[in-house]
A = this chain, B = another copy of it.
Amino acid sequence: MTEPRIRVAVSTVIFTLRPAGDGATLALPLVRRTREPYEGQWALPGGWLDATEGLDAAASRTLGSTTGLAPSYLEQLYAFGEVDRSPSRVVSIVYWALLRQDEVDAQRAAHAVTDSAPENVQWFDADSLPTLAFDHTDIVAYALWRLRNKAGYSRIAHGLLPDEFTLADLREAYESILGRRLDPANFRRQAEASNTLIPTDRFRTGSHRPARLYRYDRDVELAARGPAPTPR
């Protein structure tokens, strides 16, 4: 039985949707590294797995300690373990997460009050990231691919939207995830036919004509996210 010296880290790609021009854009927080390797470069929030905690717990803890954020949706993405991905041998169990912009704002406000705002953290648009440390550029690309893929067959976009939203909000969320424009009329038809949206009696008013607010049917799972829903 050999016991090679391999360390286990946990990192999280956490996306939110933030307003940009007429629509919205996917954004994620990065942490500037304060030590070697890759000192001064941006990296995914994360840290070492502790011997006394499970992987999911480690992802939540390290995300919280580095960014102050607590995600509304967290799912294991992939274990990255190429030999040369770090100067020392590190296997990273990577999670991906979603957080609604209103929750980001609320969590930020809470940190401002307690003066516990994390340092060295900055949000970046997913389509204009700086050069990242380690293989984190590849990891973000894969997380985006998984998000896009999952958007096609689950209501995962809800993890980026507030409880009530207009069909335009929902379309913009999908446009941001998929990285392309969708035809509004087609989108409305498909969304209404999906049977996952419940129309409310409320409307959003403002500079445009009033738009009906919808909410998701909570009886429909956000998405299957790992071994938890396994039938026993």
> Which residues from 159 to 180 on chain A have a C-beta closer than 8 Å to any C-beta of chain B?
none
Which residues of the partner chain B approach A232 to less than 8 Å between Cβ atoms? Answer: 138, 141
Q: Contacts A4-B49, A138-B227, A231-B141 given: A55-B81 contact, CB under 8 Å?
A: yes
- Which of A5-13, A97-105, A184-192, A195-203 has 4 or more CB atoms under 8 Å from chain B? A5-13
Decide: A54 and B79 in contact? CB cutoff 8 A.
no
Tell me whether B142 and A51 are in contact (CB under 8 A): no
In the complex, the answer to whether B53 meets A2 with C-beta atoms within 8 Å is no
A34 to chain B, nearest CB (A): 12
Partner of A93 from B2, B3, B81, B139 at Cβ < 8 Å: B81
Which DSSP category, helix, strand, loop or mixed, fits chain A's interface?
Answer: loop
Q: Are B141 and A230 closer than 8 Å at their CB atoms?
A: yes
Least distance between A118 CB and chain B CB atoms (Å): 18
- Are the CB atoms of A51 and B4 closer together than 8 Å? yes
Name the B residues within 8 Å of A3 (CB-CB): 7, 48
Residue of B nearest to A84 (CB): B54
Q: A76-B79, A232-B141 are in contact. Are A6 and B51 (CB under 8 A)?
A: yes
In Å, the complex CA distance between A138 and B53 comes to 19
Shortest distance from the beta carbon of A156 to any chain B beta carbon, whole Å = 15
In the complex, A141 Cα to B7 Cα: how many Å? 28
User: Which residues of chain B come closer than 8 Å to A39, judged between CB atoms?
Assistant: none
Contacts of A48 in B (CB 8 A): 1-4
Cβ of A116 under 8 Å from chain B: no
| Residue in B closest to A1 when the chains form the complex, CB atoms | B48
Q: Does A110 contact B (CB under 8 A)?
A: no
Question: A7 — which chain B residues lie within 8 A by C-beta?
Answer: 3, 6
Shortest beta-carbon distance from A38 to chain B in Å? 14
Q: Compute how far the CA of A110 lies from the CA of B187 in the bound complex, rounded to whole angstroms.
A: 56
Q: Answer yes or no: A78 CB below 8 A from chain B CBs.
A: yes
With A48-B2, A79-B55, A83-B54 known as contacts, the answer to whether A91 contacts B8 (CB < 8 A) is yes
- Tell me the smallest distance from the CB of A19 to a CB of chain B, in Å: 26
Given the interface pairs A1-B48, A2-B50, A6-B8, the reply to whether A227 lies near B55 with Cβ below 8 Å is no
8 additional A-B pairs beyond A49-B91, A149-B224, beta carbons within 8 Å, are A2-B48, A8-B8, A8-B81, A55-B82, A79-B79, A138-B232, A145-B229, A145-B231
